Amino acid sequence: MIDEVFNYIKVQIRALDIFKVLDEDRASVRKLAKSFDCCNSILVIGTGGSSLGGKCLVNFEAMYSGKATKVVFLENTDSRHFENVMRSCDPDKTGIIVISKSGKTTESLMLFSTICELWPNFDYQTRALAITEFSENSTLRQLAKIRKMRIVEHNPKIGGRFSVFSVVGLLPAILGNVDIDLFIEGARKVVRDIEVSKTPEECKLFNDICSIYKVFANGEVNIHVLMVYSDLLEDYGKWFIQLVSESLGKTETFGITPVRAIGTVDQHSMLQLFLGGPADKLFTVIVQKRNNQTSKVTADIPNLKGHNIQELMLAHQNATIEVLREKASVRVLEFEEFTIETLGFLMMLSFIEVIAIAKLAGINPFDQPAVEKSKKLVIQYLSAIH
């Protein structure tokens, strides 16, 4: 079975568009980004897979560089946040990107339509574009055509949660000053590691994935805690939650509940549960060896004198890993330093992980049939409001 799944992954790497996009020419995406040079702020409207990947990249870069980003994501139908964002934008110096694969996502359509009401004279032809499927059934496409907006095709073979390496993730990333070539190179490292390995035993990444599946297979462990020791990876955790939940939550007999934790903050809120609660969790802990060096504390503070912030972080993550290993299965992913290339590596590793686990569990990682009833009920409830 392991050999079969390993060969299956090799075939998928060559066959699926979510991997093929790594080798696409990115000149067209850069050209699109260039058209927003005149904008002081850019509103990216989308939710779920349409926003989580791009937001992860943009916020990573902003925190890493220490520079504010001009890219603002509108994801939720929270009217107060929406109004605050709109008040902060100059309509003459703002760009708009609306993303919805189906073109029917109610949140995105509502947010965009409300902007159209507020800004009827906005230059939609020059400073707005829609990313959606080339289908006449796409409401977003119809709205964009009415306003003579540019329309960019959302690859119909790439689901939203798998779209971060396509224009959906890369366009906001470029606008947020992300080095997308380094990001893609991080992803390629994972793919190359799979491709050059002749057997499953040669590929440590694949062996780790199989070990993870074995922990979850009997159903006693069904929670995957992703604990990242850096604020840089907070949005990666949010993206990871959607990827795992929508890809692997398909049957009543097998499912993995992803939980995001940030070290060291969540040690003070969740570690007691992790160590003293039910033994139903597997942990992936992501750490780095090196971080910015701050000055050492000279004040006579017990245990801290002569140490700096990075040293305390290292001590915390090492201690947490040690105590977790006494309680549960723990996978540690250690990097020299967290960079945008690291993020590309982690996101591609997550892709391959969910696809491989889905194959082992006999489920389809690319659909999400259970949420359709909820979407229909939303329309019913909305129509009942007068």
Question: What are 339-374's pLDDT values in tens digits?
Answer: 999 999 999 999 999 999 999 999 999 988 888 788
Summarised one tens digit per residue, pLDDT across range 319-340 is 999 999 999 999 999 999 999 9
The pair of three-digit structure tokens given for residue 129, joined into one six-digit string: 């574009």
Q: Is residue 22 part of a domain?
A: no
Domain of residue 120, residue span: 35-178
Residues 112 and 231 in one domain: no
CA distances from 300 to 84, 297, 308, 309 (A): 45, 8, 13, 16
What is the percentage of the chain residues whose pLDDT exceeds 70? 100
Give the DSSP letter string of 249-295: ---SS---EEEEEETTGGGGTTHHHHHHS-S-EEEEEEEES--PPPP
Report the C-alpha gap between 277 and 148 in whole angstroms: 57
Number of domains present in the structure of the chain:
2
Q: Are residues 242 and 274 in the same domain?
A: yes
Give the domain-ending residue among 178, 198, 214: 178
Q: Are residues 173 and 212 in the same domain?
A: no
Task: Among 144, 162, 178, identify where a domain stops.
Answer: 178
**11 in a domain, yes or no?**
no
Contacts of residue 81, Cβ cutoff 8 Å, sequence gap at least 6: none
**385 domain-assigned:** no
- Are residues 280 and 215 part of one domain? yes
Q: Which of 178, 198, 219 is the last residue of a domain?
A: 178
Is 340:182 a contact under the CB 8 Å cutoff? yes
CA 10/CA 197 separation, integer angstroms: 10
Over range 234-240, report the average pLDDT.
Answer: 97
| Residue 25, in any domain of the structure | no
Q: Let me know whether 120 and 230 are in one domain.
A: no
Whether residue 386 is predicted with pLDDT greater than 80 in this model: the reply is no
Q: Establish if 292 belongs to a structural domain.
A: yes
Q: What is the CATH number of the domain that holds 86?
A: 3.40.50.10490
Two tokens at 151? 């329309």
Helix, strand, coil abundance in the chain, percent, nearest 5: 55, 15, 35
DSSP string, 353-369: HHHHHHHHHT--TT--G
The pTM score is 0.95
Peptide bond preceding 132: is omega within 30 degrees of 0, i.e. cis?
no
- Assess if residue 12 is contained within a domain: no
